[in-house]
Amino acid sequence: MSATATSQHDVLALAVRAREASHGLALATRATKDAALVAMADALLARAAEILAANAEDVARAEAGGTPSNIIDRLRLTDARLADMAEGVRGVAGLADPVGEVVRGSTLANGLELRQVRVPFGVVGMIYEARPNVTADAAGICLKSGNAVLLRGSSSAASSNAAIVAVLRDAVATAGVDPEVIQLVPADSHDTVKALMRARGYVDVLIPRGGAGLISSVVEESTVPVIETGVGNCHVYVDAAADLDKAVAIVLNAKTQRTSVCNAAESLLVHADIADLFVPRIVAALQQAGVRIHGDEVFAAQDGVEPATDEDYATEYLALEISARVVASVDEAIAHIRRFSSHHTEAIVTEDQRAARLFTAAVDSAAVLVNASTRFTDGGEFGFGAEIGISTQKLHARGPMGLPEMTSTKYIVTGDGHVR
């Protein structure tokens, strides 16, 4: 923390340095980029002591400030977590280079050769909260996709992030990549977030990662194009034609396997035709797993179920808590989802092909699953190898974002003196 806070001018200066360096990175071969990624992974391990010492400062500051223990847990780095971080970056070296991929191509009637080719965005801004591992993840993904990156982490992780960025910058330099492609934006004041949001022309895309408040404020205020990530009020709809064993397993997994993540289920819809059989069974199973249930009249008739309000249906609990409701039809389930969903992930459990087809066509979310847990909406599960976030918006990228989603395209058109 410095005495004088970082100004907008300072942030733009970082962006200008990132832009300058991005020109070289955009032309770097995959071999160069992979060597830099391996050097980054090696350096995270070789200089672990330095990073852990910096992290200990952050943790001590958080403890002194009375930060809740679950937040401190997310902030804390260990040898094991550093090793995971390094493996994540090393893994990106093994992935295909999206830059230069020909998305489409043809020869036009007049002989012009047309190719649409993936190219880096240029300069990416990341704005994120607590976890310092995002610093290394984002740096690795941006480097492989040919983008310079401005990293604006949380002030609570300022020392950790500074140490990680110092290590990564040194590492890429040993591989012949300009270290200015990785920039740490000081977290000494909220003004640096504002500066990023106003850096149109300097920053090509902003990706906020964190809580709903952070994301909505960036989306509302930024003049830089934003990719919206993460908020997930995800539904599981158990259809009249569901296999109830599969339904119980999917609902439990979607709600309880990990509660703090955006692809966890937050709301359960059950077709009226099976409510008599299924409601008592799923209530018992959820309660046994420690889940608090907010239900409609049918659910609330069960012991221990609290009555649900519209606010419950709209809530992303991120906890052992779920809203639940009986619906008269697939159409009513779809209408409920239209009203309350955050358009992240919804699942239907059914053995009826017609119901599955209608649900997947009509539900307008980033991912729609049939007979599978909402927890599968994830770059790792989808086989992308790396994930920068899960987009819940419709422009550019929707759903888990891997390396190709971190690129734009351009058309390269080759002629031989062609004129119109």
User: Which stretch in 168-176, 221-229, 294-302, 303-311 sits in contact with a second copy by CB under 8 A?
Assistant: 221-229
State both tokens at 135. Answer: 């610093």
Give the shortest CB-327-to-a second copy separation in angstroms.
17
Binding residue (CB under 8 A) for a second copy from 225, 290, 304, 307? 225
**Selection from 196, 82, 90 nearest residue 149 by Cα:** 196
Among 23, 190, 339, 354, binds a second copy (CB under 8 A): 23
**Is 8 a residue that touches a second copy (CB under 8 A)?**
no
Q: Which of 8, 91, 360, 385 binds a second copy (CB under 8 A)?
A: 360
Amino acid at 184: L
**Sole residue written with tokens 């390269």:** 412
Q: Is 231 in the site for a second copy (CB under 8 A)?
A: no
What is the smallest separation between the CB atom of 222 and a second copy, expressed in angstroms? 9
Among 174, 319, 382, 385, binds a second copy (CB under 8 A): 382
Q: Applying CB under 8 A, which of residues 14, 89, 250, 322 lies at the interface with a second copy?
A: 250
Element (H, E) at 38: helix 30-46
Range 389-418, binding a second copy (CB under 8 A): 393-396, 398-400, 408-418
Sorted by sequence, the CB contacts under 8 Å of residue 226 that are 6+ apart come out as: 205, 206, 207, 208, 218, 219
Show contacts with a second copy in window 75-94 (CB under 8 A): none
**Burial of residue 323 (number of CB atoms within 10 Å: 0-12, 13-18, 19+):** buried
CA–CA separation, 190 vs 194, rounded Å? 7
Q: Pick the closer one to a second copy by CB: 338 or 354.
A: 338
Tokens of 108: 């036009």
Neighbouring CB atoms inside 10 A of 284's CB total 14
Interaction mask 97-116, a second copy, x per CB under 8 A: ---------x-xx--x-x-x
Alpha carbons 183 and 10: distance in angstroms, whole number: 12
- Exposed/middle/buried for 126, CB within 10 Å: 0-12, 13-18, 19+? buried
φ/ψ of residue 164, rounded to 5: -65, -45
Query: By CB under 8 A, what part of segment 141-180 binds a second copy?
Result: none
User: Which of 205, 220, 165, 209 minimizes the C-alpha distance to 15?
Assistant: 205
Binding flag, residue 7, a second copy (CB under 8 A): no
Name the minimum Å distance from CB 273 to a second copy: 20
Binders of a second copy among residues 24 to 53 (CB under 8 A) are 26-27
Q: Which stretch binds a second copy (CB under 8 A): 87-95, 160-168, 216-224, 293-301?
A: 216-224
- Number of residues forming the site for a second copy (CB under 8 A): 71
* Residue among 51 and 366 whose Cβ is closer to a second copy: 366
Q: How far apart are the first and last CA of the chain?
A: 60
Q: Which is nearer to a second copy, 244 or 318 (CB)?
A: 244
C-beta of 113: minimal distance to a second copy in Å? 9
Cα(243)–Cα(260) distance, integer angstroms:
28
Cβ nearer to a second copy, comparing 187 with 401: 401
